[in-house]
Every structure is written in C-alpha cells, then in structure tokens.
Amino acid sequence: MLTKEELPACPVATTVQLIGNKWRLLILRNLLERPYRFNELLKSLPGLSQKVLTDNLRFMEYSGIVTRTVYPEVPPKVEYALSDLGESMRPIINVLGEWGSNYQDLVNGNK
C-alpha cells in the first residue's frame, strides 16, 4: 500500500496516480473479467512489453489494487487478480467505458 507521503493531496490526483496510465487502466479492465496469468495479460494487450507489464503489475500490487498468487507447481503458476480494493474500482471503470462508448457514438454520428 502506498504511504501517505507518496499520495498527492488531491483525491483526483491520487486516483490518476493509481490508474492513470494507459496500461494500468487496460490491465484493470481485463482483471475485472477474471484472474489472468502473466502471459495471458501480455497477449491480451497488443503493444505492451513484458517489462512494462511487470512494472505496472508490481506497482498495482504494491498499491494494494492487484493480488499475485503463486501456486506451488512445476513450472510455477502465477495469477494476478483484483484485490477487494481493486474491485472497488469497478464502477469507475464502468463509467469510463460508458463515457467512451457515448463519445464514439457521437463522433460516428450515431447520436
């Protein structure tokens, strides 16, 4: 979990810090569906490098948004899922999706 020294004073800036880059938002979108293994996430997000996925997952785990479960198998199986805190972002992501859909309709002349 981030420390209070790491948090911006503004609540909106805090949210943006946690989910405000392109990849974190898309990782969250995918994890809202179900838990993913690392390579599944990597393949589901074209253009995302292994290093950037690793960095973002580590930050999201450190922030308390994502959980990482290692299963004692050979080869090791690791799954990433939303924590309860991450799950609480579902309404935010849903509203972003609705807004984006409405905007696309507007641009495409469907409204």
Greatest mean pLDDT among 8-12, 43-47, 91-95: 43-47
Please compute the mean of the pLDDT values over residues 15-26 and round it to a whole number: 89
Residue 35 confidence (pLDDT): 97
Residue 69 confidence (pLDDT): 96
The per-residue pLDDT for range 51-99, each reduced to its tens digit, is 999 999 999 999 999 999 999 888 889 999 999 999 999 999 999 999 9
d(CA 111, CA 97): 17
pLDDT band at residue 19 using 50, 70 and 90 as cut-offs: confident
Of 73, 76, 39, 44, the C-alpha closest to 54 is: 39
Q: Do residues 27 and 57 lie in contact, with contact meaning Cβ atoms separated by under 8 Å?
A: yes
Phi-psi region of 81 (alpha: psi -120 to 50; beta: other; left: phi over 0): beta
